[in-house]
Amino acid sequence: MRVTFIKPNIGRRDHSLYVDEARMEPLMLGVLAGLTPPDVEVVLHDDRMESIPYDNATDLVAITVETYTARRSYEIADEYRKRGVPVILGGMHVTLLPDESKAHADSIFIGDAETLWAQVVRDAQEGRLQERYDGPPGVAQIGGVLPRRELFKGKGYLPMALMQYSRGCRFACQFCAVSQYFDKKHYIRRIDEVLQEIESQRRKFIFFVDDNIASDRKALKELCRELIPMKVRWFSQASLDLTRDSEIMKLMADSGNVGNVTGFESITHASLKETKKSPNIGQFSSYEREIRILREYGMQTWAAFTLGYDHDTYESIIATMKFALKNRFTFAAFNILMPYPNTPLYHKLEQQGRLLYDGKWWLHPEYRFNQAAYQPELMSADELTDACHEARKQFNSASSLVYRFSDIKTNLKTLWSVAAYWRYTLLFRKEVYKKHLMRFGLR
């Protein structure tokens, strides 16, 4: 039997196919392959840079679906099904919107795969694939399952190993699909299994793809203590409240943490309250204290902003960009607040009649990447789209790049941080422009 795993792309640009040059290993598909019974052959196709050989023989196709890739995922699923190949769809979007996904699949997988994936494969092998499988959200890779990393070879992924220590997050930010999916719970792997995974591969630079690795500080401290002797460099996604714990900051620095993606979301207290961004609200000090601490420990900051709250204006968005520039963040993403399906934000905007694109921007043929998908309070949707793009342009200008580089405590701290700054900021800056106003799907 052969199972084919597919990582879908987002879509295409008006003049050409879009190739994601900053692509990372599709960890979740490597893990699924690891959960597959060993007598079954597994194949991986990554739509982000290679064409999909629809006519190659396969007995089951498994596609991981995110909201941004839903349209393209359904196109791929339809192609396989036209050829009589059974398709199973899984991933966060499928769990949030099962009824939509099942129209394009023979089977859908709701929740996490760990407990049921081997059963899915056996059912497909015996020709009795069920219409729906429900796996509870929970701890990743239970029993020390390792991702099949050999599937990633030769596909040009960034030279870092993706791993997960935990899933979920205890906070309840209104726009966050993770909070919805995991119902505000945080699931942590056994540390010895994580350490074994690090040792099982050769890379010394690790991206822990945890939704919020700082959600449980005690667990993070334990991980850091174990990482110290392993002499790795790592980064992750972490909420800003970690700066309130000096022990954790020291342990992270000692264990090789080089920085984190951190959700600042907004520089306006009222907007943070609106979105219930509680890790940022306590002792709110315009982030001065938090940023000083991050710099003290030499951590490069990849700041994520969400823009378009009810208090936001063109001016407040440009002020956000200036704030990111002044603090010489290594990188900053100026994301439009997106109504992800089934989140509290989505329901609020739906009730207020403010959703655009029929409430399904991820499927709508007119929607383009980076466009506002709802009616903001103090400006038009187009003004919000333009303001965010202007912020991206100014932040990614040549003079901004040089100015941000000049931070001796972070971007100039070591030869490694200098190299990482130029390699990754230039790469992600390029992707920002390439993706802007991209169509979803290829058709």
CB of 347 to ligand SF4, least distance (A): 16
262 counts as binding ligand SF4 under rule CB under 6 A: no
274 counts as binding ligand SF4 under rule CB under 6 A: no
CB of 214 to ligand SF4, least distance (A): 9
Q: Which is nearer to ligand SF4, 63 or 169 (CB)?
A: 169
Q: Which is nearer to ligand SF4, 172 or 319 (CB)?
A: 172
306 counts as binding ligand SF4 under rule CB under 6 A: no
CB of 178 to ligand SF4, least distance (A): 5
- 383-422 mask for ligand SF4 (x: CB under 6 A)? ----------------------------------------
300 counts as binding ligand SF4 under rule CB under 6 A: no
333 counts as binding ligand SF4 under rule CB under 6 A: no
Tokens representing 230 are 């392993």
- Strands (E) located in 21-138: 41-46, 60-64, 87-90, 107-111, 132-135
Q: In this chain, which of 9, 101, 164, 179 binds ligand SF4, going by CB under 6 A?
A: 179
CB of 168 to ligand SF4, least distance (A): 8
Strand order in the sheet with 233-237: 161-163, 205-208, 233-237, 257-265, 300-307, 331-336
Residues 6+ apart with CB under 8 A from 226: 191, 194, 195
Q: Which is nearer to ligand SF4, 243 or 396 (CB)?
A: 243
First-to-last alpha carbon distance for the chain, in angstroms, is 31
239 counts as binding ligand SF4 under rule CB under 6 A: yes
Task: Please say whether the beta carbons of 211 and 342 come within 8 A.
Answer: no
Q: Segment contacting ligand SF4 (CB under 6 A): 86-94, 176-184, 393-401, 406-414?
A: 176-184
CB of 417 to ligand SF4, least distance (A): 25
Write the Ramachandran bin of 18: left for phi over 0, alpha for psi from -120 to 50, otherwise beta: beta
Site size with ligand SF4, rule: CB under 6 A: 12
Residue 356 in 3-state DSSP?
Answer: coil
Q: In this chain, which of 36, 69, 212, 320 binds ligand SF4, going by CB under 6 A?
A: 212
178 counts as binding ligand SF4 under rule CB under 6 A: yes
Of 222, 207, 213, nearest to 240 by C-alpha is 213
Write the Ramachandran bin of 361: left for phi over 0, alpha for psi from -120 to 50, otherwise beta: alpha
**Contacting ligand SF4 within 113-172 (CB under 6 A):** 169, 171-172
User: What is the chain's alpha carbon radius of gyration, rounded to the nearest angstrom?
Assistant: 21
Q: Which is nearer to ligand SF4, 173 or 420 (CB)?
A: 173
263 counts as binding ligand SF4 under rule CB under 6 A: yes
Q: At what angle do helices 217-227 and 191-199 cross, to 10 degrees?
A: 40
Of 126, 61, 127, 70, nearest to 96 by C-alpha is 70
CA distance 443 to 440: 8
Q: In this chain, which of 10, 173, 238, 432 binds ligand SF4, going by CB under 6 A?
A: 173
- Strands (E) located in 146-201: 161-163, 166-168, 186-188
Task: Please say whether the beta carbons of 108 and 1 come within 8 A.
Answer: no
Backbone angles phi, psi at 60, to 5 degrees: -155, 140
CB of 176 to ligand SF4, least distance (A): 3
Which residues would be at the binding site for ligand SF4 (CB under 6 A)? 169, 171-173, 176, 178-179, 211-212, 239, 263, 279
